[in-house]
Amino acid sequence: MSLRFYDTATAEVRDFAPLTPGAARVYYCGATVQGMPHVGHVRSAIAFDQLIRWLRVCGYAVTVVRNVTDIDDKILAKSKASFEEAPSDPDAVPNEEWWALAYRYEQEFLKAYDALGVQRPTYEPRATGHIPEMHELIQRLIDRGHAYPAADGSGDVYFDVRSWPAYGSLTRQNVDDMQAAPDVDEQFGNRKRDPRDFALWKGWKEGEPETAAWRSPWGSGRPGWHLECSAMVTKYLGAEFDIHGGGLDLRFPHHENEMAQSQAAGHPFARIWMHNGMVTYEGEKMSKSVGNTISPDEMLQLASPRVVRYYLGQAHYRSVLDYRPTSLQEAAAAVERIDGFLAKAGTSKAGTVGPTPDWQDLPEGFAAAMDDDLNVPRALAVLHETVRAGNSALAVRDDDAAARAAAAVAAMTAALGLDDARPASGNQESPERSALDSLIRSQLADRAAAREGKDWARADAIRDALAGAGVVVEDSADGARWSLARD
């Protein structure tokens, strides 16, 4: 099967045919760093990390760009609020300048990405570092008749949506059915030719910090949100590139506007658009006001990074991922089955798996699933079936079959990025816990060998010794799992 992805723009699964044979150029939307990362941010990052890893497994030289939006209305508003006596944001730092706030939250995103094994992109440009490229793009749109400065001299510049007949094609909407773009206060609505026109450049307004404004041919101001991505992706990947990704919530207006302004400027832009689904809480949209949210940091307090990554990456990237209070427990059980088999295989005559995975060890069913629009659920089914087969091989002391299964499992976990999820300071998987896990797994491997040799007395003695130390052992068809006893 050839590598195929669902393209949002055409609403069909298409063969992947990169512009340059053997290379893939990918852009996916990063964060607007105005607050702590939420679970939707990291779910999206993991989905596109799986895509990028699989492209590399398939032999592509991949160039990845993930932007940082470090100037935005919300960033300015939160900075302004930090100078008030009682900021409403619990994460606020008193008297924090907007650029300091943006940098602080950018580091929080990087910490979460690193903990969950999301590989760093080739380039991670900040919006504030690409103002000249944005000016050039705006002028190009003005020259081509697709943008105009506001007539009142405010410094605003708008994209003329009715000048571009294809506007709305990404989300299959008619422009007359769209709501007004929320770019300016209602009293400034007469600056636009059409209420749906969106801001490319926002003129400086009284009360805004002068540090958040740059000189331009149209007046001092700052870039509009949609413009940033078009300018940065063109600089790093060219006027046409292979894949543009992001969360489903970004399709409109963000990606619709990106596509329109880029193509209106004469750039073919993305050949395939990929969007990941949202995360819900027991079937409902997550909302702070409702109180049904869970943050990545909270997840990492409940489970190891490897478990959290497994949970956030287990569904098909286009589907909704529903969180329930038992979700991480279920993911932990799945990860323990995988790791339990690898530990047993490593201590048996089957030998240990090398530190570098061999992609030739990947089962055909796993590769076929990943080639089919990154069908991770089907790929995980192959992984767990291989774990079961490996455990069966160990039970009958078929070391060759167990070794083949272990190599396949190791290659699959590496391809999915599970091996790169690692503990960060403050979460559950401390060095002490890692050492404890290694010791207990060694004992469980000895117990498994005793059971296979029908030395029931020794097997029971090992279990009793672990129980005496507060370790609960649960046997299953896929091997033994351990947990600490709770009072």
DSSP structure class, residue 181: P
Decide if 441 is inside a domain.
yes
Block residue for tokens 């079959």: 401
For 365, the enclosing helix (H) or strand (E) is: helix 364-371
Let me know whether 367 and 459 are in one domain: no
Let me know whether 256 and 333 are in one domain: no
Q: Based on the structure, what is the number of domains in the chain?
A: 3
Selection from 425, 403, 292, 293 nearest residue 350 by Cα: 403
Decide if 48 is inside a domain.
yes
**Cβ atoms of 261 and 286 closer than 8 Å:** no
Residue 469, classed as helix, strand or coil, is: coil
Selection from 273, 304, 274, 298 nearest residue 286 by Cα: 298
Q: Which residues contact 360 (CB under 8 A, 6 or more apart)?
A: none
**Cβ atoms of 288 and 35 closer than 8 Å:** no
What is d(CA 457, CA 460) in angstroms, rounded to the nearest whole number?
Answer: 5
DSSP structure class, residue 199: E
Let me know whether 295 and 437 are in one domain: no
**Cβ atoms of 231 and 206 closer than 8 Å:** no
3-state secondary structure 42-58: HHHHHHHHHHHHHHHHC
Peptide bond before 253: cis, by omega within 30 degrees of 0? yes
pLDDT at position 90: 82
**Cβ atoms of 233 and 265 closer than 8 Å:** no
**Cβ atoms of 76 and 333 closer than 8 Å:** no
3-state secondary structure 312-356: HHCCCCCCCEEECCCHHHHHHHHHHHHHHHHHHHHHCCCCCCCCC
Decide if 426 is inside a domain.
no
pLDDT at position 428: 46
Let me know whether 13 and 79 are in one domain: yes
For 73, the enclosing helix (H) or strand (E) is: helix 73-82
Decide if 307 is inside a domain.
yes
What is d(CA 42, CA 28) in angstroms, rounded to the nearest whole number?
Answer: 12
What is d(CA 119, CA 26) in angstroms, rounded to the nearest whole number?
Answer: 13
pLDDT at position 472: 83
Spell 200-213 as b/e; 16+ CB within 10 A means b. bbbbbeeebeeebb
Let me know whether 361 and 400 are in one domain: yes
pLDDT at position 24: 98
Let me know whether 373 and 303 are in one domain: yes
Let me know whether 117 and 176 are in one domain: yes
Let me know whether 405 and 447 are in one domain: no
Last residue of a domain, one of 252, 277, 302: 277
Joined tokens for residue 337: 């089955």
Is the sign of the CA dihedral 116, 120, 125, 128 positive or negative?
positive
What is d(CA 90, CA 35) in angstroms, rounded to the nearest whole number?
Answer: 10
What is d(CA 142, CA 157) in angstroms, rounded to the nearest whole number?
Answer: 9
Last residue of a domain, one of 370, 391, 420: 420
Total residues belonging to the chain = 487
What is d(CA 168, CA 71) in angstroms, rounded to the nearest whole number?
Answer: 26
CATH number at residue 119: 3.40.50.620
pLDDT at position 427: 43
Boundaries of domain holding 232: 4-277
pLDDT at position 425: 46
**Cβ atoms of 70 and 30 closer than 8 Å:** no
CATH number at residue 408: 1.20.120.640
Decide if 425 is inside a domain.
no
Segments in the chain below pLDDT 70: 1, 87, 183-189, 348-355, 424-435, 437-438, 476-479, 481, 484-487
Let me know whether 286 and 381 are in one domain: yes
Selection from 130, 32, 129, 100 nearest residue 72 by Cα: 32
